[in-house]
Amino acid sequence: MRITTGIKAAFCFILCLALIVSSGCTPPTEDLSDTLVIGVLADIQSWNPYLTETKFSEDLLALVYPSLAVEMSDYHDHPPTFAPALAKSWDLGSDGLGLTFHLRQDLVWNDGQPVTADDVVFTWKAQTSEEVGWYGAYTKDFIDSVEKIDDFTVSFRFSQVYAYRLMDANEGLIIPSHLWGKIPFSDWHSTDWLPHVVGAGPFVPVGHVPQQDIVLGANPSYRLGAPATIDRVVWRIVPDQLSLMTQLLAGEFDFVNSLAPEEAQRVEADPDLQVVDIPHRGYTHICWNTTRPELADPRVRRALGMAINRQTIIDTVYRGYARPSAGPILSTMWAFDDSLEPLPYDPRQASLLLNSAGWNDTDGDGTLEKDGRPLTLELLTNAENHMRQDICMLATRDLRAIGVQATPKTVEWGTFLSRLRDGDFDGAVNRWVEPTQIDLEDVWHTTPEALESSNYGRYSNPEVDRLIEEVADVRDIELQKELYGQIQHLIVADQPYTFLVEGRKLRAISTRVQGSIQNDATPYFNLEAWKLP
Amino acid sequence: MTILRRLALLPLLVLLVATVTFAVVQAAPGTYADTIDNPRLTPAARTHLKALYGLDQGARGQYFHWLGALAQGDLGRSFLFKQPVADVIATALLPTILLAGTALAMDVILGVLLALISARRPGGWIDRILTILSLGVYGLPSFWLAGLAILLFSLTLGWLPASHMASVGADRWAAGARWLDLVRHLILPASILGIVGAASTARYLRASLLDVRRSHHILAARARGITESRILWVHTLRPALGPLVTLIGLSLPVLVGGSVVIETIFSWPGMGRIMWQAAVARDIPVVMGCTLVGAVAVILGSLVADLLYAWADPRVRPQ
């Protein structure tokens, strides 16, 4: 029959095709012994550091462009100090308004041009240009001028004396004025920057296929330290966390920056991988909406906090990679008051507190009431984060156990944010990631109605406001510490938040990588010194 | 004439789709400035970004601004990708066409083949097995199939790469090796899309083949002593292709729109993935740009489908 021959012919065709393809299936043997492969979730936004907004873009570009100084991770003992980089030294003027940087004279861009004061001045112009619109321009608000004294000396002038002048002056990466100065700021947003990149950092770009790979190579003209030991570093972009993990465990990556706790457990079981476990600069909390009548009473908020079992959250949601959080300043910071203890888990005491605040189960239905109204609460969180959802569920269960009609509610991130901002929530499970300088104003200071701030729960304590304003003008670290201590005790007494946990930052690194130093500043802190066998 | 009239309606339809999409995107809470997860973005910095991207102008202001630019052929600049939207789409279109095109070819070839096998002895054991298999594949979620395929062919057997369009270090290979590498990376995602498509194609075509076979002209052909294979290939297949060409025409939007799920799982840098990332990041210009491309493709696709249908079945040919 001809039908059968037709079908047979078609099958033969497909079979041949399959054979041809599979014969080509033996991958070309590629020696990756000189290549470090890193798995990441998203691409960089631009090769121009002033057109990016994501943390990953900034971390990666910091390997390419130099900075005046490097912030040290010594914030546990005192406000962070700075180590020389492009600037070999600096001095504050006698009036406190000047800051002069003395630059190293041996640094070059990888096209051979020297890095000079012109680059620093040009960088400041770009940073403050309205046409460029850099989001970090606010760090330059108090800088009136940046002037070149000579090729390797540059002077900053401030409009006021304040604590973070060096930090603000140093903010942002130095860019090449001899090349980028030729491109008007108005054209920056439509420029393809990769061809214009020259670097003075340990690495320079070798290739970039959008949404696929970023390849950096060692910069042979790097002078700030020894040239990078690894020739090529490839960032593989995998947009899905599950695929990222699968490929990590299949041995395709040497380094992955962010692991969930349950993923860290699987990584620990893999003999070729190690878990990097460092304190994370964030704390997860429940923000209570203090404008809700039932939540306006600090006793109620304290009771809710005491009803929630943090240890269960740490053991189940964080698999042990967390510690209880005590207050608004991270326990890893110099200003943290050691005398603060996390709120104890004590449901019986919580019930008594609620009773004293007027909430009683008068009709015996298991729910507390006051003036005939039951104590109902919605715990809001965002759907993208399953850990927060789990916390929401556990907290709901604990609250119900003491007669609070709590319900969990998850919404998408954008909705979550807009509901927080509008004050359209009872309690919200959220996390703050803290900068290395202490700023309590944005979250804890009373907010005028019109102003946008992160004080979503509308917390207001005049004494806290006064102390936050006072500490801003204090220079002496011991006195600052004293004032911060008072603020922490006041806030903890008011319990506008239930402070839940401080999580850990979990990363995976291949056992073949040697010499890496891991801290929370950037995942690629000393990438130039990492070694492959 | 019908074609011209429909082409003339195209801009109007596209505008309508764009307007509705704009309204929907605007109704979604949050803006690009809110979605970026960077601890250094203070509230002041976020407000600053909103002004920079014109997000503080209100929905109507943004819409007319976007429309004005569109009238001059400018799709705007992406917030997320920091590039003109046209460039973002141009970069993503080729990988999607490659993936979806390969998948469509597999879909049609495999679908027709399976339908022919099934329709030879309807109700026979081959037909029954194929029916169960195709319904099964059709009913499975593609992310699950993809996960299974990766587990089997990449992780366990190590035959094929699990993601991306090229291997690490492929940029240092010769052109031939790079091509081969691309084909290897294409096989898994294209097969998943193609096999799922083929399962439905086969079902449609089988029903259609059986329909035609019962019609009078086949009986007449048999009576004239024409061989069974000629009846199948010439007299049955062509009229039965009607539903198939409609399906193919309607898959044009997928060809340029891509598949969000497959492109994300396989790290394939196509339109579906761009659109998804843009939607999550509230990157309005890219969402709008992708929607425009999709809308044009849907309209053209249905036009192509009608034309192909007319070719396959002379009865619907326009006068």
Question: Please, what is the Cα angle at A54 between A529 and A500, to 5 degrees?
Answer: 90
Distances (CA, A) of A349 to A343, A353, B196: 12, 6, 59
**Chain B: closest CA distance from residue A19 (Å):** 13
Q: Write out pLDDT tens, residues A467-502.
A: 999 998 888 889 999 999 999 999 999 999 999 999
Whether B309 and B245 have beta carbons less than 8 Å apart is answered as: yes
pLDDT value for A17:
54
- Residues A74-85: what's their mean pLDDT? 90
Query: Cβ contacts of residue A50 below 8 Å, gap of 6+?
Result: A126, A127, A132, A134, A172, A175, A188
B28–A452 CB contact, under 8 Å: no
Question: What is the separation of C-alpha B290 from the centre of its chain, rounded to a whole number of angstroms?
Answer: 13
- For residue A21, the chain B residues in CB contact (below 8 A) are 183-184, 187
Q: Write out pLDDT tens, residues B167-225.
A: 888 888 888 888 999 999 999 999 998 988 888 888 888 888 888 888 888 888 888 88
Confidence band of B319 (pLDDT split at 50, 70, 90): very low
Distances (CA, A) of B155 to A249, A386, B149, B158: 10, 26, 9, 5
* Structure token digits, residue A487: 């603020």
pLDDT value for A12:
57
- Residues A11-22: what's their mean pLDDT? 55
Least confident of A84-93, A371-380, B69-78: B69-78
SS3 at position A163: coil
Query: Cβ contacts of residue A359 below 8 Å, gap of 6+?
Result: A300, A368, A369, A370, A375, A403
- Secondary structure E strands in chain B: none
pLDDT value for A2:
45
Q: From the DSSP assignment, how many helices (H) and strands (E) are in chain A?
A: 15, 20
The amino acid at residue B242 is G
Question: Please, what is the Cα angle at B170 between B167 and B173, to 5 degrees?
Answer: 150
Q: From the DSSP assignment, how many helices (H) and strands (E) are in chain B?
A: 16, 0
Q: Write out pLDDT tens, residues A33-73.
A: 889 999 999 999 999 999 999 999 999 999 999 999 998 88
pLDDT value for B223:
84
Least confident of A265-269, A331-335, A413-417, B144-148: A413-417
B113–A413 CB contact, under 8 Å: no
* C-alpha dihedral sign at B80, B82, B83, B88: negative
Name the nearest CA neighbour of B151 among A246, A39, A263, A252.
A246
Report the C-alpha gap between B271 and B257 in whole angstroms.
Answer: 5
B228–A3 CB contact, under 8 Å: yes
- Residues B89-109: what's their mean pLDDT? 91
pLDDT value for B242:
74
Residue A450, pLDDT > 90, answer: no
Least confident of A274-283, A406-415, B36-45, B190-199: B36-45
- For residue B277, the chain A residues in CB contact (below 8 A) are 42, 239
**Chain B: closest CA distance from residue A75 (Å):** 17
In this complex, the residue of B46, B82, B113 whose CB is nearest that of residue A51 is B82
Whether B251 and B104 have beta carbons less than 8 Å apart is answered as: yes
Report the C-alpha gap between A324 and A245 in whole angstroms.
Answer: 28
At A282, give phi and psi (nearest 5°). -145, 155
Residue B7, pLDDT > 50, answer: yes
Query: Cβ contacts of residue A395 below 8 Å, gap of 6+?
Result: A286, A308, A313, A379, A406, A408, A429
Q: Write out pLDDT tens, residues B36-82.
A: 877 778 777 888 888 888 888 888 888 888 888 888 888 889 999 99
B40–A30 CB contact, under 8 Å: no
B265–A240 CB contact, under 8 Å: yes
The residue in chain A having the minimum alpha-carbon distance to the alpha carbon of residue B262 is: A240
The residue in chain A having the minimum alpha-carbon distance to the alpha carbon of residue B113 is: A7
Q: Which residue has the tokens 């498509």?
A: B197
Name the nearest CA neighbour of A377 among A409, A347, A350.
A409
Length of chain B: 319
Name the nearest CA neighbour of A468 among A448, A442, A497, A498.
A442
Q: Write out pLDDT tens, residues A316-364.
A: 999 999 999 999 999 999 999 999 999 999 999 999 999 999 999 888 8
**Chain A: closest CA distance from residue B158 (Å):** 10
Confidence band of A3 (pLDDT split at 50, 70, 90): very low
- Secondary structure E strands in B60-164: none
Instruction: Identify the residue among A16, A44, A135 best suited for mutation to test binding to B, counting B beta carbons within 10 A and taking the highest.
Output: A135
At A133, give phi and psi (nearest 5°). 70, 35
- DSSP-derived secondary structure letter, A490: H
The amino acid at residue B290 is C
Report the C-alpha gap between A196 and B118 in whole angstroms.
Answer: 60
Report the C-alpha gap between A432 and A439 in whole angstroms.
Answer: 12
At A410, give phi and psi (nearest 5°). -115, 135
Name the nearest CA neighbour of A524 among A110, A170, A196, A36.
A36
- For residue A32, the chain B residues in CB contact (below 8 A) are 168-169
Confidence band of B314 (pLDDT split at 50, 70, 90): low
Whether B89 and B294 have beta carbons less than 8 Å apart is answered as: no
Residue A30, pLDDT > 80, answer: no
B43–A209 CB contact, under 8 Å: no
Q: Which residue has the higher pLDDT, B237 or A508?
A: A508
B44–A53 CB contact, under 8 Å: no
pLDDT value for B317:
59
pTM of the predicted model as reported, rounded to 2 decimal places:
0.85
- For residue B41, the chain A residues in CB contact (below 8 A) are 53, 135
Report the C-alpha gap between A35 and A457 in whole angstroms.
Answer: 49
Query: Cβ contacts of residue A485 below 8 Å, gap of 6+?
Result: A335, A337, A339
* Structure token digits, residue A376: 């109902």
Look over chain A and give the mean of its residue pLDDT values, rounded to a whole number.
Answer: 90
B164–A442 CB contact, under 8 Å: no
Report the C-alpha gap between B305 and B293 in whole angstroms.
Answer: 18
The amino acid at residue B289 is G
Whether A204 and A215 have beta carbons less than 8 Å apart is answered as: no
- For residue A211, the chain B residues in CB contact (below 8 A) are 92, 267, 269, 273-274
Q: Write out pLDDT tens, residues B129-173.
A: 888 888 888 888 888 888 889 889 988 888 999 889 988 888 888
